[in-house]
Structure 1
């Protein structure tokens, strides 16, 4: 892919054109995220990244926390994800679906068709050992057991004991507390309401077992009257947690307390929401089988300062999007302190610089740690320590190095920390690597990347490192600029702007959000790295939501929507390499599961490029991942016009995806159409025959392949086959409610508010449905109206793009305001502007940024259309370096809601059909030339 990378970097640089009047490399608006207090939790912290290394900056004054990641640290390892013999059951599953027997089809598919899982440990033996109190002295269930030496923990915690101090723990833990029984409770049966416990509990009152449940169903145990004692009573609970969140979870609705109360008087209880005593009995539970692997945190860097609780003034932490440098400033004892943080791609290190305006003022201890059980810190030399680790549920190892360079002062390295006293300035270099080589090879030296980076930094000043970082970053970032008028609220901290955005007038914040999306993509997906996952590159949990993997039925694809239009084509390189690797594994899955040629991908994948169906048959058997990812290859060609890329990389993979569907499509016995089955309309309605989304993706893939064969002059017979098949695929249909049908049958439920709106794929990101077919477009819009505006973060982002394609800018802007609102039960943004599913998923950031761009420019039809969905809230603005399909880069301005000037640069030549409202002009462009027009598209 070397030629691809060179071409795309050239394309990025071309956005500047070298023409003074037409350049996105001009002065950028000073977009920043900033706050007046340190981060209290992870989603308050500020992200930095170089594509491979990521860090979250908490910026505390007394204790600064830098949580960091390395992109290839995952659980699992190379293995066969496929279910041997699955294809033998495909005809039977199809027949059951044709007969309308969905339940039986899902049951058979769950048993015979899902992918294989990783190996399991001996749970029966482990549970037996834990119940036999192995590893303990005495019996903690007994009333008079001495727990004075035990630690205390907050109970309950709905997000698991991980959220209240037991990070990364799975295993057996004992909890103990007491409650006072009022005199009027004597002689009554009581209820011990614990609601949710993860995963199994053995619950004792005054030494007697009253309940034992394995699973997460509510716990409401009876305490017989005969067990109750006057006054103090003891509760002891042995919790057995196998995987993920553990402990007494209680109620998600925190207004409901776990409690003890009389059966006949539920409202008169004693709350058990308080600190309980706890003791870890065992932290080595048997391995739980997994379909796929999970992305892992690497470690934590803590900077502990000796501030002696002095008053701090002038505190500010910020992230400068123009330089990708985070900083913290404050005043203490009259001394002004500055910390700068950056993730350098040229030097492959996270860099922290600490200075003050008084000499000898920098004193702190730097400590490395990790949530991984198998980890340790050691001294390397006089200014370097190392953190080594091994993933528990997997084969990978990792190593990071922390090196300190000081000006004046003293530096002391012990076994696990670096101590610095009275320095003028300090630079910390944090590096990391793993043993991952590729999805089949884990033989790498985990220390090599860290050591190589530090070796390369020898002799470089911080000023040189920072300058190289900014230069490399800005060649991507400054290729595009956007302004929606004066930034009148720049004086407000970002958290306050989020609170006010949905109800106030702050168009500049929408522009900042666009650039923040670009910043996050550059930071998590540089050429040569892994692609951005569900959380980009940032993750603090050993068991993150959805494994922080690559969900391929919307989320991975949404991550890369900004690449073309927002002038970040080079950032697509990691995705393109991922697609190539998936295509290889997907060939095996296509054969094993469908006895088909070509390649297939289901709804999820991971570092190891698993392609088999996972989780459950009612949503895991979705066959269109390869088709959707192939659309990204085609789109990449459309934006870059790189014929070599199309010939050598895109088309061969697209063709094999089409080959699979050519084998896979089957005639529906009722309609005679070719349909996709078994499959799913993500993640709604279960296993079905003929979901609309599949047919849109397949039809679009076939069209793209047909166009590619014509451009390349190849595969005439294959082209003819696709041209014949495409006419036989089940078409889009309008149902009885005037809606676009989600399925083959007209069975849509207009009250269903599901977050996925998969059958509108043909509207966006596809172009199977456009205003060229107004009745179908109106039906699609009606479906979206029925589905409603509410949704999780990424769902809100997708709806921005839909409403933009419907050319309803005001509705699209309504969705933008919902997306950029305080994180709530569904959607919104955390105070660091991370998208809230909730919990955090980064796709909403990327989809939202692309959606705002879609309001300003669309090029998915024959036209390059300007301001197709401009909302009233954005009456003026200017964009530079925005891209259109066909290899065009545009600068344009508008005022009072009307276009005032536009300039088009053509990277490769060709006809540009420029449209604004009802005005159309055709430009026969020349390679490397630019063309200027006024607001009426009259050439200047």
Structure 2
């Protein structure tokens, strides 16, 4: 039995126990057993809403200056009231991603000997169960290569395959009909009335085809019946009109299915595996397997939740599962990036105030934390294209709301690049939301050193962001610092030290804003110098950098979250945005800023130790990443253990607890999976602040192990083997030339490397060229 497999010895009764598959655009959550099975179908572009102009009640820089003066004067009440008047547009047809439909198969068998498996080594889902003395087998995959879902069912008896199949819509407009006895055709539209007017949304059209060997196939009333066959193949394809012109999309699913049938199931499966493993096989991780790894996955999770911590390979499974989910949801040609729920949809978040959208105040960013280090750089490309689209919409937001050049986006966005402030300033006026997600452009370049990407994509987009902040920011009259604002520290509140003890949200120069702007200005300055362009901008950036506020330590020894040392109104809050400076940014490091590192530890301990701490998936993943950056491997391990044992469904998908952020029930959120994957990688390898740090936060529980294929900044790829907690051997492949400082425990050594060379490094940091 493969260790890197999710498997279960009983049926899945509901969505949250199902197993996810996807091809970067089309996906399914598959659950059920011997009696019936459901495929909950999702498609990344199936959004309600529409692109529309968001009207501003601000008319340029003059009202913004008046607004800021309230905060400079310490009148937070007047400032927040004015911000609501001019920077809080009405919610219109923002929309949300919606589940499309359910494919329901009914077999009518008793639940005997059901075994469900998802092999993440080849992205194949299988189910089997007994029928008297016979066995019925099913397998399913989502092929990126051919753009559809493929499903095979067969029996150990020559006439043992009988079932019915039908579709049930999940939106206000969905219809399926029998096109023939073995084909269901369907169409629909992504309509809902919580986040839009119920009349606008993306349209879809697709087909389900059933091809049986032996037996009889009949179809009527939106249902297909198969009786007495020895094998059946089902193909599912759907396409939408998102971002297309003309009507060619209406025939796309039929075309895909025709081509798939010509190719045949066996070839589809082989091509799927080859395509998937091109990305997946780049990285291998082993933390030491034992017999516990052979237990069903739900039992392994339950043991961990009960404090039985003897399953190190469960962490390797969780790590590689994160990479699997990335490949399911984000391929190089995906039309949209990963959203709040990756590419799946539990039909909960989209029906409440949350929306299944792009949250730009950590959630979408965290989805992409493991992309580069996890050696899936191509999966970044849909996000790169989306950021370019966001910047286009952000130009209007910059002009209309602030009277500034460049581009800006705020807390949330949608399939059409919504960039305006959201409809409540307390959480929607995050003026660096667009910049935060655009930081992934910097990340992609730092890992790849792709100069063409820097010249044509990263620098042009980030330059326009820098132009906005240069035009938008103001000198603080008290400190003489260049500050943003009014803005929020997502999504926290403070007491303004004015004796009122009223929860305040808006202020000038939040720590998150200043860190993001500092990184932006420095990156653009260095890029402009490298590209030998924009001399005047270089001067402006250099001058502005000198005026930015420093990171500050508060009276309690904590890292300040705001420019002033305000008292936290919600010390238990799930967001810790100011610790972005520690992770994933690198403005705080134990080796170069020890005092700030100590302050970050105080902040971490205070958040974790506060009464009624908001125990939520992305916070726990962030805690783990921060502890890894502080080289506290055992503390990081504790957080990952908590994430897996307490905040995962039986299928290892992470969720948000009821009672937090307005959630009335458990809601699947993808960021915990991706953030946890990234944190595990940071425990094994770090490459920031000019250092290449080997095994920087190795926990005692992973006493022996190995990994291969993790990527590092500077276009490096690293393999490491360790025994008894000590590095035994390291191999580094260089894809570009450069220099970094090697770091392992208390040792350091300069490391000059050349493109195309391979280097061996031992525990004493002695380097050999083994090319």
TM-score tier (shorter): over 0.9
Of 604, 608, 629 in structure 2, the residue corresponding to residue 805 of structure 1 is 629
| Map of 2:98 onto structure 1 | 296
Once the two structures are superposed, what CA deviation does each residue of 1:365-419 show, in whole Å capped at 9, x if it has no partner?
1101112232211122342111211233223211221001111221112240111
CA shift, 1:544, in A, is: 4.1
Kept in 1: contact 2:18–2:31 (CA 8 A): yes
Counterparts of 1:644 and 1:907 in 2: how far apart (Å)?
Answer: 15
Kept in 2: contact 1:619–1:687 (CA 8 A): no
Give secondary structure in 2 for the equivalent of 1:314: coil
Of 725, 739, 747 in structure 2, the residue corresponding to residue 919 of structure 1 is 747
Correspondence 1:815-830 to 2 at 5 A:
815-822=639-646, 828-830=647-649
Matched, 1:844 2:663: no
Of 693, 704, 710 in structure 2, the residue corresponding to residue 876 of structure 1 is 704
Once the two structures are superposed, what CA deviation does each residue of 1:83-139 show, in whole Å capped at 9, x if it has no partner?
254535322321222222223322222232223432xxxxxxxxxxxxxxxxxxxxx
CA shift, 1:559, in A, is: 0.3
Kept in 1: contact 2:3–2:294 (CA 8 A): no
| Map of 1:89 onto structure 2 | 63
Counterparts of 2:459 and 2:670 in 1: how far apart (Å)?
Answer: 29
Of 876, 887, 906 in structure 1, the residue corresponding to residue 734 of structure 2 is 906
Counterparts of 1:819 and 1:91 in 2: how far apart (Å)?
Answer: 44
Give secondary structure in 2 for the equivalent of 1:358: coil
Q: Count matched residues.
A: 730
Counterparts of 1:863 and 1:85 in 2: how far apart (Å)?
Answer: 45
Kept in 1: contact 2:492–2:570 (CA 8 A): no
| Map of 1:407 onto structure 2 | 213
Correspondence 1:224-263 to 2 at 5 A:
none
Kept in 1: contact 2:33–2:114 (CA 8 A): no
CA shift, 1:420, in A, is: 0.7
Matched, 1:786 2:585: no
| Map of 2:361 onto structure 1 | 553
Counterparts of 1:732 and 1:98 in 2: how far apart (Å)?
Answer: 20
Of 28, 50, 53 in structure 2, the residue corresponding to residue 80 of structure 1 is 53
| Map of 2:282 onto structure 1 | 479
Kept in 2: contact 1:793–1:835 (CA 8 A): yes
CA shift, 1:912, in A, is: 4.0
| Map of 1:628 onto structure 2 | 436
Matched, 1:103 2:77: yes
| Map of 2:660 onto structure 1 | none
Of 579, 592, 598 in structure 1, the residue corresponding to residue 406 of structure 2 is 598
Correspondence 1:450-599 to 2 at 5 A:
450-502=253-305, 503=307, 504-529=309-334, 530-541=336-347, 543-544=350-351, 546-599=354-407
Answer with 79-88 or 769-778: which moved more: 79-88
Counterparts of 2:173 and 2:671 in 1: how far apart (Å)?
Answer: 32
Of 476, 493, 496 in structure 2, the residue corresponding to residue 668 of structure 1 is 476
Of 644, 664, 673 in structure 1, the residue corresponding to residue 452 of structure 2 is 644
Correspondence 1:196-211 to 2 at 5 A:
none
Matched, 1:40 2:13: yes
Kept in 2: contact 1:630–1:701 (CA 8 A): no
Once the two structures are superposed, what CA deviation does each residue of 1:468-495 show, in whole Å capped at 9, x if it has no partner?
1111110010010100012431221111
Counterparts of 2:25 and 2:290 in 1: how far apart (Å)?
Answer: 33
Cα root mean square deviation, aligned: 1.7
Once the two structures are superposed, what CA deviation does each residue of 1:252-285 show, in whole Å capped at 9, x if it has no partner?
xxxxxxxxxxxxxxxxxxxxxxxxxxxxxxxxxx
Structure 1 pair 751/107, CA: closer, same or farther in 2 (3 Å)? closer
Counterparts of 1:48 and 1:843 in 2: how far apart (Å)?
Answer: 17
Kept in 2: contact 1:295–1:544 (CA 8 A): no
CA shift, 1:659, in A, is: 0.6
Counterparts of 2:416 and 2:133 in 1: how far apart (Å)?
Answer: 53
CA shift, 1:75, in A, is: 0.8
Counterparts of 1:491 and 1:803 in 2: how far apart (Å)?
Answer: 30
Once the two structures are superposed, what CA deviation does each residue of 1:820-871 show, in whole Å capped at 9, x if it has no partner?
123xxxxx11111111123210001000000011011110121110011111
Of 379, 383, 390 in structure 1, the residue corresponding to residue 189 of structure 2 is 390
Correspondence 1:676-755 to 2 at 5 A:
676-685=484-493, 686-749=505-568, 752-755=571-574
Of 350, 359, 379 in structure 1, the residue corresponding to residue 178 of structure 2 is 379
Correspondence 1:173-322 to 2 at 5 A:
292-307=94-109, 309=110, 312-322=111-121
Counterparts of 1:704 and 1:544 in 2: how far apart (Å)?
Answer: 40
Structure 1 pair 928/487, CA: closer, same or farther in 2 (3 Å)? farther
| Map of 2:502 onto structure 1 | none
Of 585, 589, 607 in structure 2, the residue corresponding to residue 766 of structure 1 is 585
CA shift, 1:628, in A, is: 1.5
Kept in 1: contact 2:13–2:32 (CA 8 A): no
Structure 1 pair 926/293, CA: closer, same or farther in 2 (3 Å)? same
CA shift, 1:341, in A, is: 1.1
Counterparts of 2:491 and 2:404 in 1: how far apart (Å)?
Answer: 24
Counterparts of 2:681 and 2:688 in 1: how far apart (Å)?
Answer: 13
Counterparts of 1:395 and 1:758 in 2: how far apart (Å)?
Answer: 33
Once the two structures are superposed, what CA deviation does each residue of 1:196-231 show, in whole Å capped at 9, x if it has no partner?
xxxxxxxxxxxxxxxxxxxxxxxxxxxxxxxxxxxx
Counterparts of 2:146 and 2:180 in 1: how far apart (Å)?
Answer: 21
Correspondence 1:63-74 to 2 at 5 A:
63-74=36-47
Kept in 1: contact 2:511–2:578 (CA 8 A): yes
Give secondary structure in 2 for the equivalent of 1:562: coil
Give secondary structure in 1 for the equivalent of 2:340: coil
Answer with 410-419 or 447-456: which moved more: 447-456
Counterparts of 1:467 and 1:552 in 2: how far apart (Å)?
Answer: 38
Of 676, 679, 694 in structure 2, the residue corresponding to residue 866 of structure 1 is 694
Counterparts of 1:637 and 1:82 in 2: how far apart (Å)?
Answer: 35
Structure 1 pair 917/519, CA: closer, same or farther in 2 (3 Å)? same
CA shift, 1:802, in A, is: 0.4
CA shift, 1:429, in A, is: 0.5
| Map of 1:339 onto structure 2 | 138
Counterparts of 1:902 and 1:76 in 2: how far apart (Å)?
Answer: 51
CA shift, 1:925, in A, is: 2.0
Counterparts of 2:98 and 2:469 in 1: how far apart (Å)?
Answer: 35
Counterparts of 1:644 and 1:514 in 2: how far apart (Å)?
Answer: 31
Give secondary structure in 1 for the equivalent of 2:32: coil
Give secondary structure in 2 for the equivalent of 1:302: strand
| Map of 2:4 onto structure 1 | 31
Counterparts of 1:324 and 1:742 in 2: how far apart (Å)?
Answer: 42
Counterparts of 1:68 and 1:360 in 2: how far apart (Å)?
Answer: 29
- Runs of 4 or more, structure 1, over 6 Å off, are none
Give unmatched runs, 5+ long, in structure 1.
1-27, 119-289, 823-827
| Map of 1:447 onto structure 2 | 250
Give secondary structure in 2 for the equivalent of 1:458: helix
